[in-house]
Amino acid sequence: MTGLNRRDALTAAALTGGLALAAAPAAAAPKARKPTAAQQLDMLVSRAEIEEVLYAYARGNDHGDDAMIRGCFWPESQHKHGRFEGSSSDFVGFAMKVGNTLKYSKHHISNVSIRIDGDRAFSECYYNAHHRRPDKAGTGEEDQWFEGRYIDLWERRGGTWKIIFRRGTTDFNAPVTPAEAPYAALPAGSHAERSKDDAYYTMLARFEAGK
């Protein structure tokens, strides 16, 4: 066989092999295992429990409930929010100092997204906060609104979900607005209390007592 014929034969063999490979069916990718019914149920229950913790964090801030806020975090939980970076316990202490100066606050939680992986979880939610506080002159009150997100890592221990790391962001600050009248000018009993005198606590106690 001449060199030219040998080269033609090798080229033909390569083309034939390439066509055969192209015609062969691709190996099927392994199918992802669908969670069992028990796993799906656990995910749903875990999501509901995590949402309740997020709501408890907002409620605790609005009523100045130190124990309720701390109950959202494991003792060694870490925190990064704005210029603060340290333990979640220290952040709660910082937040309580700010909260104790307020006349009123409301924290709204929304856009909750949660992923569960066994006893670990990842979540993101948005918050919208309204603070009523004394103005700098000390002669009146002012309102300020904030928007941001809480991005959390969670652990479940002994069947309880708590935050092990939080990254908080402040994505928007509205201009401070002078209040037309002090918060206390609202009719007594018609507004929220930054204490356990609030209707949430009194009515919850009645409910738990079966009344």
Find the radius of gyration of the CA atoms of the chain.
29
Do the beta carbons of residue 69 and residue 58 sit within 8 Å?
no
Predicted local distance difference test score (pLDDT) of residue 34: 84
Predicted local distance difference test score (pLDDT) of residue 193: 87
User: Is the pLDDT at 172 greater than 60, yes or no?
Assistant: yes
User: Is the pLDDT at 29 greater than 60, yes or no?
Assistant: yes
Task: Supply 160's token pair.
Answer: 């309880």
Q: What is the mean pLDDT of the chain?
A: 88
CA distance 180 to 187: 15
Average pLDDT rounded to a whole number, residues 188-195: 85
CA distance 171 to 148: 5
User: Which string of b and e fits 142-163 if b means at least 16 CB within 10 Å?
Assistant: bbeeeebebbbebebeeeebbb
49-107: pLDDT as tens digits: 999 999 999 999 999 999 999 999 999 999 999 899 999 999 999 999 999 999 999 99
CA distance 188 to 133: 19
**3-state DSSP assignment of residue 188:** coil
Predicted local distance difference test score (pLDDT) of residue 27: 60
Do the beta carbons of residue 69 and residue 105 sit within 8 Å?
no
Task: Supply 109's token pair.
Answer: 């939680």
Instruction: Domain 37-208: state its class.
Output: alpha beta
Do the beta carbons of residue 166 and residue 77 sit within 8 Å?
yes
Predicted local distance difference test score (pLDDT) of residue 189: 78
Q: Where are the domains of the chain?
A: 37-208
pLDDT band at 22 (very low <50, low <70, confident <90, very high): very low
CA distance 102 to 155: 32
Predicted local distance difference test score (pLDDT) of residue 186: 85
Name the pTM for this structure: 0.82
115-156: pLDDT as tens digits: 999 999 999 999 999 999 999 888 999 999 999 999 999 999
Burial of 96 (0-12, 13-18, 19+ CB in 10 A): middle
Strands (E), the chain: 73-81, 84-87, 104-117, 120-134, 141-157, 160-173, 177-178
Do the beta carbons of residue 189 and residue 203 sit within 8 Å?
no
